[in-house]
């Protein structure tokens, strides 16, 4: 059986553009083959909202400890939080939960405002902005550097590392990429080790300091364990949040032109607009689980040990849950039922933080610019901006 699962080989997406637009394929699968076995990858795929929800929430039947990886995800030395099932998962999650409560969201907000104002200040003389390059890429990395307690001036370094770590590549390039990732992880360990030492001696109010003080299974965490957790956070929260910020502007300009102006007149709609972006273009499209005992609950026999891919991006467009699911509509009453942050015991811990980043960035943009329009695409979305 394959150790690595390549979702693009299941969906047939051949390039980035097709990966960003899998929704036609999802609609076809929901209609014609909602529970589908992919012979080449040897995995089950579920596309309907109730089925995806069931796979994510029923950890007795669908384990996160799959023994496999989705291409692009990382093999850490120890099992990561997303590969664990209860009860071990709960103990590991408690480590993260504590760190996330080090600062409350109210405490984060002024710092996130400061970061987004600074980024907007940098482009203030320009008539056009690169969404990824100028805003959506730096913002989450700076926030995570802050959260960990490493100098945020090193964000470029973090960004370079995370770019390599999230590369999925193809079957042909996979081995080369894996070697490169191992190199980067060594580099990160060299960078983080002295910082962790310093935090052990002089703990501050940050995530790394917390981890040096915390006990897990009766023992303090080793440097290696702390480094793995730091890397996992960098990965979990970086590209996902960048993609969300990018998608905000993509949806407002291409999926439903006119939304930006509507929000400028009605800024109280910002939160629900962001929920609809999350539903419509989820940054993570698919999650993986392993069947724990034979089941035919979805109408086909899934055998113990087989893999199930739960397609979040398809569930979010399921017409039986979201009327006219393929329409972007910020007035939709139930956008927040989306599964973009997962569901059940693994529900994303960074969800409130990334929602806040999107809200602050968008609110600051609305204050600065009376209108925005598309300036073009050059490996990025370029916006023409009109100041007040």
Q: Which residues bind ligand HEM (CB under 6 A)?
A: 64, 81-82, 93, 96, 144, 233, 236-237, 240-241, 244, 283-284, 287, 340-342, 346, 348-350, 353-354
Shortest spacing between CB 288 and ligand HEM, in angstroms: 8
Are the C-beta atoms of residues 99 and 210 closer than 8 Å to each other? yes
- Whichever of 330 and 385 has its CB closer to ligand HEM, that residue is 330
- Whichever of 144 and 372 has its CB closer to ligand HEM, that residue is 144
* Largest separation between any pair of C-alpha atoms in the chain: 62
- Whichever of 56 and 185 has its CB closer to ligand HEM, that residue is 56
Q: Are strands 69-70 and 4-5 parallel, antiparallel or unpaired?
A: parallel
Token output for 174: 């996979």
- Whichever of 344 and 375 has its CB closer to ligand HEM, that residue is 344
Shortest spacing between CB 382 and ligand HEM, in angstroms: 22
Q: Which helix (H) or strand (E) holds 69?
A: strand 69-70
The Cα 95–Cα 354 span in angstroms is: 19
Shortest spacing between CB 236 and ligand HEM, in angstroms: 4
C-alpha distances (whole Å) from 18 to each of 15, 45, 78, 269, 279 are 5, 19, 34, 30, 18
The Cα 39–Cα 14 span in angstroms is: 18
Shortest spacing between CB 172 and ligand HEM, in angstroms: 27
Q: Are strands 35-38 and 43-46 parallel, antiparallel or unpaired?
A: antiparallel
Q: State the residue number with the nearest CB to ligand HEM.
A: 350
CB crowding 1-11: b at 16 or more within 10 Å, else e: eeebbbbbbbb
- Whichever of 212 and 242 has its CB closer to ligand HEM, that residue is 242
Shortest spacing between CB 358 and ligand HEM, in angstroms: 7
Shortest spacing between CB 101 and ligand HEM, in angstroms: 13
**Helix/strand/coil percentages in the chain, nearest 5:** 55, 15, 35
Q: Which helix (H) or strand (E) holds 108?
A: helix 105-122
Count Cα atoms within 13 angstroms, Cβ side, for 278.
Answer: 24
- Whichever of 246 and 385 has its CB closer to ligand HEM, that residue is 246
The Cα 382–Cα 377 span in angstroms is: 6
Shortest spacing between CB 287 and ligand HEM, in angstroms: 5
Shortest spacing between CB 8 and ligand HEM, in angstroms: 18
Nearest to 183 by CA among 154, 160, 215: 160
- Whichever of 321 and 340 has its CB closer to ligand HEM, that residue is 340
- Whichever of 62 and 369 has its CB closer to ligand HEM, that residue is 62
Residues forming beta bridges with residue 90, ordered by sequence position: none
- Whichever of 134 and 357 has its CB closer to ligand HEM, that residue is 357
The Cα 246–Cα 142 span in angstroms is: 16
Shortest spacing between CB 6 and ligand HEM, in angstroms: 18
Nearest to 78 by CA among 62, 90, 92: 92
Torsion over CA: 73, 74, 78, 80 (sign): negative
Three-state secondary-structure class, residue 215: strand
- Whichever of 259 and 278 has its CB closer to ligand HEM, that residue is 278
Shortest spacing between CB 342 and ligand HEM, in angstroms: 3
């Amino acid at each position: 059986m394959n150790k690595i699962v390549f979702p693009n080989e299941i969906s047939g997406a051949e390039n980035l553009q097709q990966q960003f637009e899998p929704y036609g394929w999802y609609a076809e699968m929901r209609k014609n083959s909602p529970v589908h076995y992919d012979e080449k990858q040897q995995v089950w795929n579920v596309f309907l909202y109730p089925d995806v929800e069931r796979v994510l929430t029923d950890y007795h039947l669908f384990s996160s400890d799959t023994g496999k990886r989705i291409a692009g995800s990382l093999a850490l030395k120890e099992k990561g939080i997303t590969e664990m099932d209860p009860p071990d998962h709960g103990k590991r999650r408690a480590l993260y939960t504590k760190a996330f409560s080090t600062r409350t969201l109210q405490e984060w907000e002024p710092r996130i405002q400061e970061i987004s104002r600074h980024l907007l200040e940098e482009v203030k003389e320009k008539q056009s902005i690169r969404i990824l390059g100028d805003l959506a890429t730096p913002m989450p990395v700076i926030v995570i550097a802050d959260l960990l307690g490493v100098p945020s001036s090193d964000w470029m370094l973090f960004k370079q590392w995370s770019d390599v770590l999230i590369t999925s590549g193809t079957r042909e390039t996979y081995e080369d990429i894996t070697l490169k990732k191992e190199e980067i992880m060594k580099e990160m360990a060299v960078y983080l080790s002295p910082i962790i030492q310093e935090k052990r001696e002089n703990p501050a109010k940050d995530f790394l300091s917390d981890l040096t003080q915390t006990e897990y299974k009766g023992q303090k965490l080793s440097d290696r364990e702390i480094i793995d957790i730091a890397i996992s956070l960098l990965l979990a929260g970086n590209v996902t949040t960048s993609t969300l910020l990018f998608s905000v502007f993509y949806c407002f300009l291409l999926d439903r032109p006119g939304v930006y102006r509507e929000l400028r007149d009605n800024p109280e709609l910002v939160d629900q607009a962001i929920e609809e972006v999350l539903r419509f273009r989820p940054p993570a499209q698919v999650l993986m689980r392993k069947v724990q005992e034979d089941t035919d609950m979805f109408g086909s026999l899934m055998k113990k040990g087989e893999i199930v891919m739960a397609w979040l991006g398809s569930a979010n467009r399921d017409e039986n849950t979201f009327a006219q699911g393929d329409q972007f509509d910020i007035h939709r009453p139930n956008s927040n039922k989306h599964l973009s942050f997962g569901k059940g015991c693994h529900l994303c811990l960074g969800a409130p933080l990334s929602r806040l980043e999107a809200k602050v960035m968008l609110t600051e943009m609305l204050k600065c610019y009376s209108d925005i329009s598309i300036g073009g695409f050059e490996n990025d979305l370029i916006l023409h901006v009109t100041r007040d």
